[in-house]
Every structure is written in C-alpha cells, then in structure tokens.
C-alpha cells in the first residue's frame, strides 16, 4: 500500500512518515502545494493524507483536482482548522475522512486502515478471485481456505493484481506502486521479475486457479487459468 503525506510542518511530516513506514506502508511526502500537485499528476496512491493549510495554496484545491481526475485515491484531510465549514466542504468534495490536529499516531493509523478497507474492499474484509482470498488488513493469503506464506513484497504485488483482475499492468507501473520512489533507483526491473516469479511459483504450488500471466513487451495480467 502506498501513501502520500502532504504536510508543510517538517517535524510532523517526518513523524508521520516514520510511524507509517513502521506499518510497512510505502510512504512518499510533499512539503507544499506545488510538490503535491506534481506528485499527484505523476503517481498513484492508495491514500493521500492532505493538510489543507499549505504555504503556497489550499489543500482543498488539490482535493478538487484529485476528484476531477476520477482517481482511486482515498483522501484523509488533516488540519489544525477544526471548523465545521471546512469539514463539511471537504467531505462533500469527496474526502473520505477528516482528522483535526493534534492527533495521536494510533488514531491516524486506525483512520487509514478504515478508509483503505472501505475503499479497496467495498467494506468487506477480504478480496476473492478464483479460489484465492487475500486479507489486506492482516496480510494473509489463502488458496482453497489454506494459508499460503508470502513475503511482504509478494503480498503487496498480489494485492495490487487482485484489485485489478484482467487488467494489463506495465512493469514500471507495478514497480512504482509497490516500491515507490525506490523503484527510480534501479537500472532495470530484475527485482520485479524475481518477486513476481516467486509469487507465481507459490500460487501454482498451492493449487491456485489464477495466475499472473506475463504479457510480452508490456508487463503482467492477473487471469483465471
């Protein structure tokens, strides 16, 4: 799962990033409106944590931008302005939650878990495709009801495909979604090939009736066998 923190306070931004990386999220940050707008234009996220009081523009404009593009991102507004008007405006414009400052990191984590569960599973606690069931909140994968052990990145890759069955996924898009900014430091995509190969082997060995099929010259596609 990949998150974007849009927050101009460097201490709070760093604290949030550390806390969420401890939860095994891929976390990227933006310090102001311009950085955030560039991030949103060029990348996709599972959840955006949006401060509406930025030094060079209103975070509510970014919310309008996200929603106008029909993007999938969940948005949690975080703001020191705990005003009813801002809260109502943000929620009416499509924000998924509103968390006033100051807040405890435990509450932030709980809010993120909640919106991700609602947004990605339609309120259900699992995603099923064929005889494979994945539980996003606790990192469990089952094939025909039997648990299959996965490494963290293998789980993240499978979750990404389970959310997009039958969709062609470019290998660079997959790398950016699962590894975030670290994907840019690689000279090739061998790390993607290796993780997908291991995941395909585990699914096959467990008797899964789905597979991540390689599409020559493009990437991968999750299909039924």
* 143-168 per-position pLDDT tens digit: 999 999 999 889 989 988 988 888 99
pLDDT value, residue 184: 57
Cα of 5 vs its chain's centroid, Å: 12
Measuring CA to CA, how many Å separate 68 from each of 64, 117, 167? 6, 23, 23
| Spatial separation of the C-alpha atoms in residues 112 and 97, rounded to whole Å | 9
pLDDT value, residue 82: 62
Residue 197 reports pLDDT greater than 90 = yes
Local confidence band at 43 (pLDDT 50, 70, 90 cut-offs): confident
Digit-coded pLDDT (tens) for 80-136: 766 667 777 788 888 889 988 889 999 999 899 888 877 654 545 678 899 999 987
Question: What is 62-93 written as a DSSP string?
Answer: HHHHHHHTT---EEEEEES---HHHHHHHHHT
Q: Tell me how many degrees the CA angle 7-105-159 measures, rounded to the nearest 5.
A: 85
Mean pLDDT of 196-221: 93
pLDDT value, residue 183: 55
Residue 9 reports pLDDT greater than 80 = yes
Own/partner pairs for 142-146, CB < 8 Å, 24+ apart?
143/203, 143/206, 143/207, 143/208, 144/206, 144/207, 146/206
Q: Which residue has the higher pLDDT, 223 or 123?
A: 223
| Spatial separation of the C-alpha atoms in residues 192 and 196, rounded to whole Å | 6
Least confident of 3-12, 168-177, 184-193, 209-218: 184-193
Among candidate residues 216, 217, 200, the one with its CA nearest the CA of residue 158? 200
Mean pLDDT of 20-38: 93
pLDDT above 70 as % of the chain? 91
**Buried residues in 70-97 as b, exposed as e (16+ CB within 10 A):** eeebbbbbbbeeeeeebbebbeeeebbb
Tokens, residue 178 = 């699962």
Supply the mean pLDDT for the chain. Answer: 86
| Spatial separation of the C-alpha atoms in residues 153 and 173, rounded to whole Å | 15
- C-beta separation of 212 from 204 below 8 A: no
pLDDT value, residue 69: 80
Residue 17 reports pLDDT greater than 90 = yes
Residue 13 reports pLDDT greater than 70 = yes
């Amino acid at each position: 799962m990949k998150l974007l923190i849009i927050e101009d306070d460097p201490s709070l931004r760093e604290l949030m990033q550390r806390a969420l990386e401890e939860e095994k999220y891929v976390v990227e940050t933006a310090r102001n409106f311009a950085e955030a707008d560039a991030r949103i234009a060029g990348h996709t996220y599972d959840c955006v944590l949006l401060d509406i009081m930025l030094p060079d523009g209103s975070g509510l404009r970014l919310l309008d931008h996200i929603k106008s593009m029909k993007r999938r991102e969940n948005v949690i507004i975080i703001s020191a302005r705990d005003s009813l008007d801002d809260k109502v405006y943000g929620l009416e414009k499509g924000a998924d939650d509103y968390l006033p400052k100051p807040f405890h990191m435990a509450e932030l984590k709980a809010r993120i878990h909640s919106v991700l569960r609602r947004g990605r599973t339609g309120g259900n606690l699992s995603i099923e495709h064929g005889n494979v069931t994945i539980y996003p909140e606790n990192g469990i994968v089952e094939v025909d009801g039997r648990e299959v052990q996965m490494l963290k990145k293998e789980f993240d890759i499978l979750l990404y495909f389970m959310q997009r069955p039958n969709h062609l996924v470019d290998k660079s898009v997959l790398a950016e979604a699962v590894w975030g900014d670290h994907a840019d430091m690689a000279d090739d995509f061998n790390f993607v090939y290796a993780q997908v190969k291991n995941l395909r082997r585990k699914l096959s060995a467990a008797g899964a009736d789905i597979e991540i099929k390689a599409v020559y010259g493009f990437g991968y596609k999750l299909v039924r066998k």
